[in-house]
Structure 1
Amino acid sequence: MLVNFRRTRSGLEFSEIGLGCMNLPENYQLASEIMDSAINQGINYFDTADLYNKGKNEELIGKFLKEHHKRNDVLIGSKVGNEFNFEDDDVKWNPSRNHILNSVKESLRRLKIDYLDLYMLHGGTMEDDKDETIDAFNTLKNDGLIRAYGISSIRPNVISYYLKHSDIDVIMMQFNMLDNRPEMLTDTIAEHDVKILARGPVMKGLLTDHYSEVVDKKFSKGILDYSKDELTQILSKAAMDSPLTESTMSYLLNHPVASIVCGASSPDQLQTNLAHYEQIKNSAANSTRDYFKNIDYQDHLS
């Protein structure tokens, strides 16, 4: 499959569709099959985090990269900022310089690699010492342990600070036709020559062919500004135009997106994602977005 690529200002070239590794099966053989198939079909971005299964997700990817000699075929992105231990479920937010400088060593060890292509702050608040955090990422970049850095955040005030005061390459945020709140930020993001990693493109299954059963099972109380009935009605109308997953991918690629990060917990799910991408990558954007409400962020604005 021919996958298109998008370049960030640090020179990283992301496949327009990436592999979200958080939900990879713990069974190594099955996870390996998914990762190998993704690479063979043109996907070059693997997204993980130290918090995912307390480092085991990174270890799973690391084992695959080493055994299959695939390090040079992929961009590896991980995340930092959540301090956890292996004895209980307690997680503390820690964006300090020391934590970041120490955590990257552990992520590299688990991934069995010498450097990360992308390292992201896994959250962030206005109360953080953001300059200290930025200094830590710049140190890692200067030392060659990371090629670029970014943040994973949906807080407009935090995003604004990093756009103005750092050299971030990317911002990861939930972004799709239903949760279109990032639209209020895309112009500013583009003006700073930063790109978006779009997570949650199918909104937990709502923007798939199975939307009706997903609404019943997961969204009986609705979501965002939608009641359950509104969701069902709008998704039903939108699905008549074109498959919802294709529509939301087409929609995202018309924004400053570096990669649409799609999770895959099975080979079939990976193939479904790629099939939808194949259908839309060379087609014009459709108007399905017009069915959905315009939604803005309400919190963390200043």
Structure 2
Amino acid sequence: MQLTDYRTLGRSGLRVSPLALGAMTFGEDWGWGSTPAEAAAIMSKYMEQGGNIIDTANIYTKGHSEKIIGDYLKSTGIRRDQLVISTKFFCNLHPGDPNAGGGGRKNIIQSLENSLRRLQTDYIDLYWLHAYDPHTPIEETMAALHDLVSAGKVRYIAVSDVPAWKVAQAQLVAQFRGWPAFVALQLEYSLLERTVEGEMIPMAQELGLGVMPWSPLKGGVLSGKYTRGNKDEAQSGRSASGLINGLSESTYQVIDRLQELAKEKETTPAGVALAWVISRAGVTSTIIGARTMQQLEQNLAALSVSLTPGEIASLDALCVPVLGFPATFAQTALNMSQAGATVNGISSLTPPLMPQNSNEVY
């Protein structure tokens, strides 16, 4: 696989690379991250190999991430239309102003205008609702996004980190009003975060949303940097606080298996972990973050990693997600309803559609 093996995103004609370049690390405003020069080099390397989607947000490094991307595009003279610029609204950059965040019309419009200014472009290819806003009717959010698409300031809309039931509501509202619907869904997905397999990913597949996982390495836990051998050593970087301290035995088992597979395939644990995410049903483009050129190259190497069904199963078995109601109950009911039934002579008693919690007692 290569970055030029473009895939259509959800139920749309927008073609994107299988790995999207995440820009949350662009800028040092949060105390870590890439300098503008380092970020420019990372973008150049990514695009040289055919990568075409850069994902950012208005909140990333307090807006500096968007400005770094805009300055880069302006200084290099890259043809704007060849790039898919993905950014988000929701987070408040002006504490004390209650209308400077959320999914309301006022914030959506002002956030877009500010993002366009920082990115130095007159349209956004992929504009995301960054999180769930319980205070704003979804009709208001979708109507405002419809207006921006109609005005030519936004090409496609998408949603990130919102409950499945709210996404379903938004899609139905858009369908019946004749408005643009979401084409993609961002969510956390990795070997250490698989609960989205219960409702989020099946919902995305049913409603035509391309899945774009973020944190496929669980904030660096699966990068290969953290092992049993160095668990007592001090670590640096944004992942070192809280998340890394006191990794569980089950997490170390996943890390051990990643190291084994990486050695067999002459790659890195990060490459194997990313290859697992890329291979998952419903996933269109996986977001990779890179603070350094070395990290980018390690992440891109995942494209050349091929996992066999047996190797994938060995990883799956180490991190079976505990799914809540109604996932396990629904599978039990489905099995009961189909007992003895066949389709074209083939028994319907197939393996469970969803991973089961083997410790659950009814």
Query: What is the TM-score with the length of structure 1 in the denominator?
Result: 0.87
The more displaced of 8-17 and 110-119 is 8-17
Residue type of the alignment partner of 1:72: D
Matched, 1:260 2:286: yes
Residue 170 of structure 1 aligns with which residue? 184
Following the alignment from structure 1 to structure 2, what is the Cα–Cα distance between the partners of residues 267 and 83? 31
Size of the aligned set, in residue pairs, is 290
The answer to whether structure 1 residue 271 and structure 2 residue 297 are counterparts is yes
Answer yes or no: is 1:21 the counterpart of 2:36.
no
Please state whether the residue corresponding to 2:133 is helix, strand or coil: coil
State which of 206, 210, 224 in structure 2 corresponds to 1:195.
Answer: 210
Q: Does 1:237 find its partner at 2:257? A: yes
Specify the SS of the correspondent of 2:195.
coil
Matches within 5 A, 1:63-212: 63-70=71-78, 71-85=80-94, 93-166=101-174, 167-184=181-198, 185-212=200-227
C-alpha distance in 1 between matches for 2:260 and 2:165: 38
Q: 1:177 to 1:34 in 2, by over 3 A?
A: same
Whether 1:2 and 2:28 are equivalent positions in the alignment is: no
Note if 1:292 corresponds to 2:319: yes
Shift of 1:95: 1.2
Percent identity reads 25
SS in 2 for 1:257: coil
**Alignment partners' CA distance in 2, 1:131 and 1:159:** 12
What is the distance in 2 between the residues matched to 1:158 and 1:239?
39
* Structure 2 gap ranges (5+): 29-34, 175-180, 233-239, 263-267, 326-362
**C-alpha offsets along residues 207-226 of structure 1, whole Å, 9 cap, x if unaligned?**
2222317865543344xxxx
What is the letter of the counterpart of residue 12 of structure 1? Answer: L
Structure with more strand by fraction? 1
* CA gap 1:127/1:40 in 2 versus in 1, 3 angstroms: same
Q: Partner of 1:169: helix, strand, or coil?
A: strand
Kindly indicate whether structure 1 or structure 2 has the higher relative contact order, using CA contacts under 8 Å at least 6 residues apart: 1
Q: Check whether the contact 1:118–1:146 (CA below 8 A) recurs between aligned residues.
A: yes
- Cα displacement (A) at 1:130: 1.1
Pick which of 284-293 and 65-74 moved more.
Answer: 284-293
User: For residues 89 and 129 of structure 1, do their structure 2 counterparts lie closer, same or farther at Cα, with a shift above 3 Å needed?
Assistant: closer
Task: Return the alpha-carbon distance in structure 2 between the equivalents of residues 259 and 91 of structure 1.
Answer: 32
CA distance in 2, matches of 1:215, 1:204: 16
Moved over 6 A (4+): 87-92
Indicate if the aligned counterparts of 1:215 and 1:231 stay in contact, CA closer than 8 A.
Answer: no
Q: Is the 8 A contact 1:48 1:77 kept in 2?
A: yes
1:55-91 CA distance string (max 9 Å, x none) = 1111100000111122233100010012222x89999
- 8 A contact 1:19–1:45 mirrored in 2: yes
Aligned to 2:355: none
How big is the shift at 1:109?
1.0
Call closer, same or farther: CA 1:192–1:25 in 2, change over 3 Å: same
Q: Is the 8 A contact 1:22 1:263 kept in 2?
A: yes
Superposition CA RMSD, Å = 2.5
String of CA shifts for 1:126-176, please: whole Å, max 9, x gaps.
Answer: 442111001111111111111101111153333332343331011111111
**What is the TM-score with the length of structure 2 in the denominator?**
0.73
Structure 2: distance between partners of 1:188 and 1:145: 28
Q: Is the 8 A contact 1:80 1:103 kept in 2?
A: yes
Q: Give me the whole-angstrom Cα distance separating, in 2, the residues matched to 1:146 and 1:174.
A: 25
Residues in 2 aligned to 1:238 and 1:140: alpha-carbon distance in whole angstroms? 44
Structure 1 residue ranges without an equivalent (≥5): 223-227
Please report how far the alpha carbon of residue 245 of structure 1 lies from its aligned counterpart in structure 2 after TM superposition: 2.7
